[in-house]
Amino acid sequence: MKVWMNNKMIDAKDAKISVFDKGFLYGDGLFETMRAYGCSIFKIDEHLSRLFDSAKALKIHIPYSKKCLREAAYNSIKRNRSKDAYIRITVTKGGNVIILTKEFKGYPRGNYIDGTSAKVSKITLNEHSPLAGKKTLNFLNYLVAKEDARASGYDEAILLNTKGDVAEGATSNIFLVKNGRLFTPSLDSGVLPGITRRMVIMLAKEKKIAVTEKHLSCKELISADEVFLTNSLAELLPVIKVGRAKIGRGRPGEVTKLLHAAYRQLV
């Protein structure tokens, strides 16, 4: 496995950072996760723009241009001989920029046919934090929430914000369908402005499905006709159970299927 690190392509075993790097010591850094289909990285320019916008907001210097990182990501795919791949760019305040590439064929088909489950976490998201809406290396809250959900038999954790509104999944954005309309937490709920989230909103509007971004309560989530999660790796993942509550008819819904098909066509 080859790793792109600070403008060099090296063997993974040789990829090392200093123990004094602020990313290692304090989680002071950012990352982006992308997916490649047939050697083409989906929406790479949007991912890089979000990375640089977050870096500017948090005063993290990225010593390379977007063009350089774009070329490096594609070179990483080529050197690792990966066509369908997971790509992660990590930037630390210690000045390190790392690109990891791994073969990725997607989630199991059963997750889309049968649906997945989620649990509302006890961990809350602070929508007022300067870290809200950014993919930082301060990821422990999300990891603990996800691990707790899995230990309880669920696939994903759903975090509420300090107001008790539905915010986001540990590794995903959330959508719900009610009476044929699509709803998702507004950005001021503290959620990540997901690239897949944005694509789904665009596709829904193209399909003449009304879309509303708003503050959503747990009651609205539980009473939804359909619920699905989005991220770059999973695309659109149907949720058929939240906690002990069955969502809709307890199977992936038609709006979810329609939008996922449209997303796949876009890909």
Return the active site residues: 134
Q: Which of 185, 57, 54 is nearest to 127 (CA)?
A: 185
B/e letters for 157-184, b = 16+ CB within 10 Å, e = fewer, are bbbbbeeebbbbbbbbbbbbbbeeebbb
For tokens 């709920």, name the residue: 189
| Dist. CA 223–CA 163, nearest whole Å | 19
* 3-state DSSP helix/strand/coil % of the chain, to nearest 5: 30, 35, 35
DSSP E strand stretches across 12-105? 29-37, 40-41, 85-92, 97-103
Chain centroid to CA 259: how far?
17
Q: Which two tokens stand for residue 113?
A: 């046919």
Residue 99 CB-density burial (10 A; 0-12 exposed, 13-18 middle, 19+ buried):
buried
Rounded to 5 degrees, what angle do the CA atoms 168, 169, 175 make? 65
